[in-house]
Structures are given as structure tokens and as C-alpha cells.
Amino acid sequence: MSSPQGPDFPSLVPTSRSMVPGDFPSKTFSSQSGIQSTVQYGSRRSGQTLELVYDNCSEANAAAIYDHYLACKGTIYFFGVLEGAKSGNSTFHLGNTSASASNRYSAAPFGMRYKYAEPPQFTSVKPGRMSVTIKFVGVLDS
Amino acid sequence: MTYYSGKDGTLTYNGTAVAKVSSWSFSASVDTLETTVLTDSDRSYVPGLRQFSGSATIFYYEDVGSTAPAPKPLLEKIISTSAIGESGVTLRLGWSSSKYIQGSVIITSGELSCAVGEVMQATVQFQFTGPLNGVTL
């Protein structure tokens, strides 16, 4: 049974972003002679992580992220990520939906779906300003 | 047109004018918080926290019967055998009867200098805490 779909993540441009593209399921065997053999078990990679940092953002934007986390029942629901969070590096993301090299920040074109990997962290900076760190993980859903 | 000079300067400590002030200075600054996002090509900022600080140089002297034995009260806030207290000091830096900057300060450094051929002087530096409680520029 697939997990429920939550609302899309707000289209907010982060101050920094890092992505780890995950890996294909495989197992590596090492012989006593040192020779390694790797067996690939699946054709689809998973575990892509996308970390977004919003430094000194407005409280309204921080509240929107907080509300989205609650609407997704924390780390349970899958959701889409709107273009704002993926924009800024057009070679990595052109905003289309194809599973091409120009769409690397998305999870859906590659068969994955994003969900929260962990609860977001909110740091108060000054009245009206907060910093937020978020980590998504792309997993294969049935 | 009115110009002001050192002759017009005053320094008031907890409501009492400090006599024989050689100079004072005041500085205000505000931190900047960067808000540049990935789609920007120029850095952007919003104002962060503001702070005020200053310093004063005062001739060290003793005046019998004076109500303002400068700069002893200021120096005793930091040069003392007892622990530093948390009680506030209100300083007012003025340059005319109606123009001044006033606020609660912490004396952050005190320096005494005594040299041949010079009148002994004390220099104190202070950090304002909280907002200013009076400004007339």
C-alpha cells in the first residue's frame, strides 16, 4: 500500500542546497584474493537526499515550512517539491518532468518520491527572522 | 549656522556631570543578516542587531568637596577589589544643552596613564546595553 500524498512543498528559493543522488541496490563480494564482484539487484536507484537551508528567512516562510511538515504528518506522507526549492542551477534542473540529466533535483522523474527524512530544524535569529534546515529523502513507493 | 566643538561637550554619569572631560566618542553599528538565495546574483541583507559603544578620556584629579570626583565612580565600576556588579550606569554624552545621547552602559575597560610632563588621565570604554533611552541629534 502506498503512503498518502501530502501538499506540495512551498516554492521557496533556499540559500543553500545539497543533493546526494542515492544508489542502486547492489551487493559487493570480496574474495580472499582481493577480487571484488558486485551484483546489481534492482534497476531503480533510491535514497536520493535533498537538503535545503533557508538562512535568515522571514517568519512567514518558516511558518509555511512548519505547516507543510505538519500537513505531511511529519515524515510519513510523500509530497511534490515546487520549482522554487530546486531553482538556481539550470543545468541540474530545468523544471521539466523528464527523467533527464536536466532534472536532477527532482525525485519523481526517476521513480522516487520525496518525503521528510527527519523533522526540520528551526533556529530563531532575531525578531521576525529564522533559519530553517530541511532534509528530504527520495524513496521508491509501491 | 551653529558649529559645536569640544567646549560644548559634556559627560554625565547617573545624572551627575563629570568634570574635566578631555574627549568622548560614540559609535553605533548594526549587524547584517545575509538573505541571498540561490537564484540571486547579488548579495542581499536585512538589518540584524544594533549596538552602541563609546569611550571617554577624563583628567584624573581630586577636588576637595567636589560632588563629581571624576573619574573615580566610572573607574570603580571595573577597577575594584570587589566583584563586578550588575547595576546599570546611565551615561549621557552631550554637545549642547539640548543635544545628547543617553543610555545604560557597562564599563568594559578602564585605563590610567601617568607620564612625566603630562597630566594624569583615565580612559574608559563602555558598551551600551539595550536601546538608547534618549537621543536628540
Complex-level ipTM? 0.76
Q: Is the pLDDT of residue B65 over 70?
A: no
Interface test with B, best of A54, A56, A87 (most B CBs within 10 A): A56
Check CB contact of B32 with chain A, cutoff 8 Å: no
Is residue B1 included in any domain, yes or no?
Answer: no
> Position A21: which residue type?
P
Question: Phi-psi region for residue A128, left (φ > 0), alpha (ψ -120 to 50) or beta?
Answer: left
Place of cell 526540520: A120
* Among the listed residues A116, A115, A103, the one whose alpha carbon sits nearest the alpha carbon of residue A140: A115
The domain tally of chain B equals 1
Give residues 45 to 104 of B whose Cβ lies within 8 Å of A: 46, 48-49
How many angstroms separate the CA atoms of B92 and B100, rounded? 6
Chain B residues in contact with A14 by the CB 8 A cut-off are: 37-38
Is residue B33 included in any domain, yes or no?
Answer: no
**Among the residues of A1-142, which ranges form H helices?**
59-71
Shortest CA gap A110–chain B (Å):
24
Is residue B47 included in any domain, yes or no?
Answer: no
Domains of chain A, by residue range, sit at 16-140
Chain-chain contact of A87 with B38 (C-beta, under 8 angstroms): yes
How many angstroms separate the CA atoms of B111 and B79, rounded? 9
**What pLDDT score does A2 carry?**
67
Torsion of CA A105, A6, A83, A63, to 10 degrees: -110
Q: Supply φ then ψ for residue B44, to 5 degrees.
A: -130, 155
Domain of residue B103, residue span: 6-26+52-136
Chain-chain contact of B34 with A89 (C-beta, under 8 angstroms): no
pLDDT digits (tens, 9 = 90+) for A28-71: 999 999 999 999 999 989 999 999 999 999 999 999 999 999 99
For residue B99, what is the domain's CATH number? 2.40.10
Is residue B34 included in any domain, yes or no?
Answer: no
* Among the listed residues A50, A26, A56, the one whose alpha carbon sits nearest the alpha carbon of residue A40: A26
How many angstroms separate the CA atoms of B129 and B86, rounded? 11
| pLDDT band for position B13 (cuts 50, 70, 90) | confident
- In contact, A136 and A50? CB cutoff 8 Å: yes
